[in-house]
Amino acid sequence: MAFRSTVGVVFLACLVVLASSAVPKNSKRKPANAPARVAEDAERDAEITNSCPEDGYFADAEQCDKYYECRNGEIIEKLCPDGMVFNDYDSNDEKCDLPFNIDCSQRPKLQTPIPSLHCVRQNGYFSHEEPHECGKFYYCVDGKFNMITCPSGLVYNDKSGICTWPDEAKKKGCGAADVFQFDCPAVNETFGLTHPRYADPDDCQFFFVCINGNTPRRSGCKLGQAFDDVNKKCEWARKVPECAEWYKGQLTDAELDALENPPTPKPKPAGSPSRRKPNRPGKGKQVVVEDEE
Ligand SMILES: *[C@@H]1O[C@H](CO)[C@@H](O)[C@H](O)[C@H]1NC(C)=O
């Protein structure tokens, strides 16, 4: 489908060029009389009319953000908003998208960028200017930016426009060792294939999984739990000796009781347990959106 419409447009683009180059050529020659001129124009229009394969929207052969609308045989050249590219999956849809899922390798040209503060182009996702800010990026809409922070331990990946593990993002200065400051202990190959886990030395709630024994990824236990480095699993923090006090000041004993023994689905009318949600700032797993002006 995409191939078909692109081929149609290669053909189309040639005809557009032919039609425009025909103008100076014709103007050099003095028309003998008015009717002849009209006939010539009509002939040329007919040629263009016939060149529109069918009504719809067709990608330009060379420029990913340029496309053509064919309507009743008329060709209208159009441009996507800066930063977006034409989506040619269906010629009935006039659609421009961010470039992540669209293959522009065969039509790599783009319009001249219109940059604004933190936005390389008017629309899209752009890396933070500071290379060491691995997990921060900007989302730009019509030239207005929003700074977004990846969940803890993830790195903004330029190629996919999403937050990924540092070893997947392969960003210079943002490798697993830079982001986590954790080196997987050397192990033999057999043991490495079990993806061994190690407690995060700085945070009881978290641990590292060493993929194939050598690539760390940070992972967390649920609220109220800690990683038990002896049994290599998440356990209620109060049962892990070195982490027994971890939630002191963040959760009360009553709140920990409630987490450890979740209220039954049908609480008794009297003396039902507290429904107050424990709140642990800064440790959320959600993407944090900040407005920075
Ligand atoms: C690999 O290391 C593990 C854990 O240290 C050990 O139990 C195992 O015997 C070792 N295997 C080989 C083949 O050296």
Q: What is the pLDDT of residues 164-198, one digit of tens each?
A: 998 888 888 888 877 888 889 999 999 999 999 99
Centre of ligand 1 to C-alpha 220, Å, is 27
Centre of ligand 1 to C-alpha 8, Å, is 62
pLDDT at residue 269, as a whole number: 57
Pocket of ligand 1 (CB under 6 A): 187-188, 190-191
The more confident residue out of 249 and 274 is: 249
Among 184, 187, 188, 193, the mutation site with the greatest number of ligand 1 atoms within 8 A of its Cβ is 188
Alpha-helix residue ranges (DSSP H) falling in the chain: 2-28, 34-51, 166-169, 176-180, 189-192, 253-260
Q: Are 112 and 79 in contact (CB under 8 A)?
A: no
Question: Which sign, positive or negative, has the C-alpha torsion 69, 160, 286, 260?
Answer: positive
Please give the share of the chain, as a percent, with pLDDT higher than 90: 56
The atom number, within ligand 1, closest to the CA of 188 reads 1
The more confident residue out of 265 and 248 is: 248
The more confident residue out of 7 and 76 is: 76
Which residue lies with its CA nearest to atom 7 of ligand 1? 191
Conformation bin of residue 61: beta by default, left when phi > 0, alpha when psi is -120 to 50: alpha
Domain 182-265: which CATH class?
mainly beta
User: How far is residue 184 from each of residues 179, 202, 229, measured CA to CA in Å?
Assistant: 13, 15, 14
The CATH 2.170.140.10 portion of the chain extends over 124-173
Confidence tier at 124 by pLDDT (50, 70, 90): very high
Q: Around Cβ 27, how many Cβ atoms within 10 Å?
A: 9
| Beta bridge mates, 138 | 126, 147
Q: In angstroms, rounded to a whole number, what is the distance separating the alpha carbons of residues 99 and 102?
A: 5
Instruction: Judge if pTM exceeds 0.85.
Output: no
- Taking alpha carbons only, the member of 204, 203, 125 closest to residue 164 is 125
pLDDT at residue 290, as a whole number: 38
Q: In angstroms, rounded to a whole number, what is the distance separating the alpha carbons of residues 145 and 292?
A: 8
Fold of 124-173: Antimicrobial Protein, Tachycitin; Chain A (2.170.140)
